[in-house]
Every structure is written in C-alpha cells, then in structure tokens.
Amino acid sequence: MFGEVSPKYKPLTIDTIPDYVRTRPELTPIFRDDPIEAVEVGDGNLNLVFIVTSAVDEARTVVLKQALPYVRLVGDSWPLPPDRARIEAQALEIEYRLCPEHTVRMFFYDSDMYLTAMVNLNKHIIMRKGLIEGIKYPKFAQHIGRFLARTLANTTDLVLDYRTKKLEVARFINPELCKITEDLIFTEPYRPTERNLFHKELEPQVLALQADKALRVEVAKMKEKFMTQAQALIHGDLHTGSIMINQDETFVIDPEFAFFGPIGFDVGAVIGNLLLSYASHEVRTADPDKRTDFRRYLTDTIIELWHVFVNEFQQVWDQVDQVNFPKGYQDDYMLRLLHDTAGLGACKMMRRVIGLAGVADIRGIEDVHERAIAGSLALHMATALIKQRESLTQIEELVEIATACKPTYPWR
C-alpha cells in the first residue's frame, strides 16, 4: 500500500485542471458550465495546491490538493508515497465529525489521483503570516483549544472501545511521514548533517547544543514517546502554517502527517510555534511598547488555549468509569500531557531553527544578525523547556520559563 502508485495517477497542471474538474460530479453544482481558471499556490514542502475558480463568478471556487510521489522541497531524489493523501482525507473526515466548526470541509477524495477537493478559505490567511505582521486573533485560543480537546480526547482509549481503537491505529499507520518527523525533529538537529540549514552566525550555539549530552538524553525520551505512544489520532504537523484564520474563524488544514501518537505533540506544536513567533518579535517589532504588547498577546494565548483544552477535555473525564479512572489518575494524566507538551514543543522549536524546513517567522528575517538574535532566543527557550518540563505544575510556569530566556547572540 505504501510503495504502490495508482496506474491512473498523473500530477495535474493549471492546463489540465479544467478537464479534471469536469469529470467530478461533486463539483458540478459549484462550477456548472462556467469556464474555469486555476492557479498553483502550493508554498509547502510536499504537495501541489491549486485554487480553482469560475471565470464568471469568483465566489464559486474550490481548492485541490494533490500529493506528489516525492518531497517537493527536495525533488524526486527524495521519494515519498502519495498514499499520504488518503491519510489526510481520512483524518479530515474524523476531525470534521468531531469539530466541524474548526476543520476545513472536504468535497471528495480521489484515491486514483491522491487528490482532495476542499473549501477555499479565501476569507482567511495562514496564521503564521498574520503573526509575522503582528496581527492578534482574539478568538484563536478558544478555537484551537476546543479543536485540540475534541479531536484528541475523543480518539483515545478513554472514548474508543478496545477493538475500534486498535483498528484505527492500524488504519492510520503512516511510516514514511513519521520517519520524516523522527529524522527532522528528533535526530538531525542534534548532530552534524547536510540537511541542517542554520546560518553560520548561529554555529557556536548550535555546536554547544549538539554537544549537550543532557539535552540529547531528553530529546531521546521525546523521540521514544513519539515513536511508541499511540495515545490519540494526532494531526502530526499542527503549526501556525497549518491554520487558516481571520478575526472570527479558525480552520485547521493539512493533517497528512496524522497517526496515533502522543497528544502533547499536537498541543506542543501549537504552543511551540507561538513561542517561535515570540522569539521573532525580539527583532521584528522595534518599538518596545508594541513588542511587549504583542508578546503579551502570544503568552496570554498560550495560557488560555491550555485552559480551554483542559476544560473541554473534562467533558470526556466526566463520562469515564470513575472506578477505573479516579480523579487522582485524571490529574496525573493531564499533568503528563503538560510535560509532554513542553518537551515535544521544544523539539519542534529547535528543529525549526536548526534543521531542514525552517519557519518564516525567523528565517524570513532579512538581516542575518537580527535573524541570529531571534534564532538564539528560540533555542534557549526550547532548551529550557525540555530540560525543566517535569518541574511544571501549570501552564503559567511553562510561559515563565520560556519568557525568562534571553538571546546570547551576538557572542561576547
């Protein structure tokens, strides 16, 4: 299943899109007999993404996302089974069932073309872009906390019966994309490798980090957890580039890395990316008052989303067998999720500074010295979080540990 490619598969182009759309009855009510226009907008690392629009009514529009049989960022020298598109479509179905108000809606999945058609969220922007510009999203914490709790808690053993859970684990086996995560997040940033892309100004700090045996022990623990803990159906790549947002709505997209893994990986990815934004505004926002204000928004968001997540998760705890899962166990479970969130989120942060496929928050900073300042701060925040995670008792302490860090570039 993972290595075979459908004989009917062919990558689409803007020229072949109109004929393809005509073959899909699901799209007839949208486009009718209108002439069709398409533009390729994929700026991610893996796939083709097309915006398809009626030439006579721009309100009639969809997005087509098609998997390529290789990593787009690298090329065909890094093959990758397009079956990951099936994983994404099946994950979207479950996420939409559990939290429709924050999951992009699909029209169909084409298993021959490894293609998903979905709503065009053209009234929203990628959240990362908004955060780079210093835009605040006051409803985001409520929205993402709810999405995380409903999609994660309801796919655990706390809710699913023993047979369903194991069958779902098997259905979402995703070895190739998990291997990408294992390599790029938990392995390569901590050793010399050609795929690491940090700039030379950060080299002293990166070399010190790679030589830190105590840090590597903690990363190894996080890697083991990622590889062995089938806790819930996780999105697997829930960063601020996988969230479409405006002032009123939040939608999660792109769950092609989905599999049954540790809950803290998704929650940590969101929080880690908010902290990467925090680090970037060390230099992105020159005015100290504006910087303080926007950073307070980011840290308040982290605290609020965690509390929303915990409160929403409580709805599951209220329904479990209180003999098998007494209050003390529930409290311990949530505390372990907090520790996992800090540790796994820290690994996500370090990867984005050191490894392949960084984030525009930091790597998009034009001045190399300013970029090094932001990167240095992000690495210190991540190192502190992963080393001190087991001391945490509440989310406010996570924020305190992260925000107490300072960049050490320029070196003295």
Annotated domain spans of the chain: 17-119, 125-403
**Which long-range contacts does 369-374 make (Cβ < 8 Å, 24+ apart)?**
369/201, 369/409, 369/410, 370/283, 371/199, 371/201, 371/283, 372/199, 372/201, 372/202, 372/409, 372/410, 373/282, 373/283, 373/407, 373/409, 373/410, 374/279, 374/280, 374/282, 374/283, 374/284, 374/407
Whether the per-residue pLDDT at 255 is higher than 50: the answer is yes
Nearest to 91 by CA among 82, 104, 79: 104
Task: Name the 3-class secondary structure at 119.
Answer: strand
Tell me how crowded residue 163 is: count the other CB atoms within 10 A of its CB.
Answer: 8
Quickly count helices (H) and strands (E) in the chain: 15, 12
- Residue 411: the pLDDT is 77
Distance between CA atoms of 149 and 147, rounded to whole angstroms? Answer: 6
| Whether the predicted model's global pTM rises above the 0.75 cut | yes
Question: Tokens standing for 16?
Answer: 């072949």
Residue 48: which H helix or E strand, with range? strand 47-54
User: Taking residues 158-166, what's their average pLDDT?
Assistant: 98
Nearest to 379 by CA among 402, 411, 360, 412: 402
Class of domain 125-403: alpha beta
Fold of the CATH domain 17-119: Phosphorylase Kinase; domain 1 (3.30.200)
Whose CA is closest to 78, among 179, 185, 8, 227? Answer: 179
Return the pLDDT at 412: 58
pLDDT band at 1 (very low <50, low <70, confident <90, very high): very low
The string of pLDDT tens digits covering residues 310-334 is 999 999 999 999 999 999 999 999 9
Q: Please compute Rg for the chain using Cα positions.
A: 21
How distant, in Å, are the alpha carbons of 138, 203, 229 from that of 260?
Answer: 30, 35, 8
Per residue in 49-75, pLDDT (tens digit) is 999 999 999 999 999 999 999 887 777
Mean per-residue pLDDT over the chain, rounded: 96
pLDDT for the residue numbered 320: 97
Query: Ramachandran region of residue 404, left (φ > 0), alpha (ψ -120 to 50) or beta?
Result: alpha
